[in-house]
Structure 1
């Protein structure tokens, strides 16, 4: 009988979810000691491992670095052939291993101890050499692997990753790591743009449609047509925003009125329109547009009219 893939996937997810939930009982005084050690580290966090644990160690390094905790990866096998030079005075070494008894790990432990560096073990075997000789032991024991043969690292590596994330998030919150700090380390791609791209960086490339309240309907239409944003701001003599007119406002007005000769901007404008400061993040402008089902937003600078940001601008920047 052919295996049911859905049943297998659901079993794996349930099994790994249960193992992750069970890790909560291992968050003890050693976990707090590990956080204190990492917070007071004068150097970097050097993470190491062998096999699949090495791959998880590299991911934790990436998470630490992107959240303000300087870290570096050292493969346990390469460490025995010259890469031990990575470790400097003041560094804290963190070794990941399921068994804690791999030959490379056992050979590495005394070398690190001889250097005088503190050693944290993330290990799934509390009776292993690694767990016993580490200064701090973080337990990631799991009942079994999701692999049907209980061999391929699956649940155990998930547990290691979760403990790494728990350490990183604790460090972030204790340090008060903010959005602007995160943006410093993520300047590229969509994520970076969400964190640093501001309205002022986007709307300045657009035309600046504007009319005064007394101007005629014809003048309003001409302004909107020339500036091609489907909207115009209505302003006073001091450039204060008093209203907005959109394509939709024009269509609704024309549907209601047959005599349009004497209609002016003030008769059809929407007062108190949605607007945003030019110093706000562009992603905030997108949130306002989505919540209010609009495609343009007036930009202001100290309550003065500055221009229009269009949803197409945000689309071009890759925020949508």
Structure 2
């Protein structure tokens, strides 16, 4: 049985901590008990969602409705066309969102929530399927459904036994299991995940350098035999500014890099004569690079750790394919460039 949490007010910080830990313990125990009760219905439900030709409409009232919003978001982010529907709004025009061939996933621990159970007949009339995520298969909602995922009885963590807490935690965990099982059935890949998560830290982790790197005329390149002066005269004019010239040898292989800082150092050290020498003599050989296919996160880590502003992108044969310039990463947002 679940640990009973006393309803007495916390008299000290240590008692408050014990209370908080007790809540977590009750909720963790609830998930473990539901885990033991799960049967083949969750696999059947995942199969129905996987094969669904329409949308998955997730509904619930109150706290269960908020859990449903999260379940719908998890389904959508892992490849299922899903959206939440408030059951009260459904009877004021939003039933029009449900079409024949859709699946409605209804959440209610009691299975007797009036706003949710009223949806059952309407879903039938519209030609959609109904999956219930509820406490008992013999509840009104459980009996209405084509398929019922039964959680069983759950004691709430609330000392009064009233506020949905352990039940909604278990419901969300089962919703996650369902969504991720469907994702597995789809063979969902990191590339697919990126399609729905292009921004933030996830986008930075999954997006490849090829999507942000400079190519073609936006990369300043030179032959090793060209003089420094000739290179900078030739590369003048309107183009995206970069602080590096990439020196390319035979077969497009990256031979070295010559930066604006290198040019400044020639003047600082009174080596102006080098301006008329081959850039191959002034360049930095064996520059730090990143390989095509690397993530933006990897590129940012290299730029940060080596204190660089430009990072050449090469293929497996060290042939130049592009350039990552730190100014192009600013648009990702400060949060994305944090470690």
Aligned partners of 1:209 and 1:307 also within 8 Å: no
The count of corresponding residues between Structure 1 and Structure 2 is: 313
Aligned: 1:125 with 2:136: yes
1:286 and 1:64 map into 2 onto residues whose CA distance is 30
Task: Classify the secondary structure of the residue corresponding to 1:25.
Answer: helix
Aligned to 2:41: 30
Aligned partners of 2:47 and 2:182 also within 8 Å: no
TM-score in terms of structure 2 length = 0.71
Shift of 1:24: 2.0
CA spacing shift, 1:30–1:231, aligned 2, 3 Å:
same
Aligned partners of 1:109 and 1:133 also within 8 Å: yes
2:133 and 2:248 map into 1 onto residues whose CA distance is 63
Aligned to 1:162: 173
CA spacing shift, 1:21–1:314, aligned 2, 3 Å:
farther
Shift of 1:287: 4.9
| CA deviation vs aligned residue, 1:73-106 (integer Å, no higher than 9, x gap) | 2222333444333322112221100111122233
Aligned partners of 1:206 and 1:309 also within 8 Å: no
TM-score in terms of structure 1 length = 0.75
2:215 and 2:119 map into 1 onto residues whose CA distance is 57
Task: Classify the secondary structure of the residue corresponding to 2:118.
Answer: helix
CA spacing shift, 1:307–1:42, aligned 2, 3 Å:
closer
Match of 2:90 among 79, 89, 107: 79
CA spacing shift, 1:8–1:296, aligned 2, 3 Å:
farther
2:301 and 2:65 map into 1 onto residues whose CA distance is 40
1:206 and 1:160 map into 2 onto residues whose CA distance is 55
* Structure 1 vs Structure 2 CA RMSD: 4.3
| CA deviation vs aligned residue, 1:121-152 (integer Å, no higher than 9, x gap) | 11123442222332222123463222222211
1:73 and 1:191 map into 2 onto residues whose CA distance is 23
Aligned to 1:299: 313
Match of 2:111 among 100, 118, 127: 100
Aligned to 1:314: 329
Unpaired segments ≥5 residues, structure 2: 1-10, 264-272
CA spacing shift, 1:140–1:286, aligned 2, 3 Å:
farther
Match of 1:135 among 130, 146, 155: 146
CA spacing shift, 1:268–1:161, aligned 2, 3 Å:
same
Aligned partners of 2:213 and 2:325 also within 8 Å: no
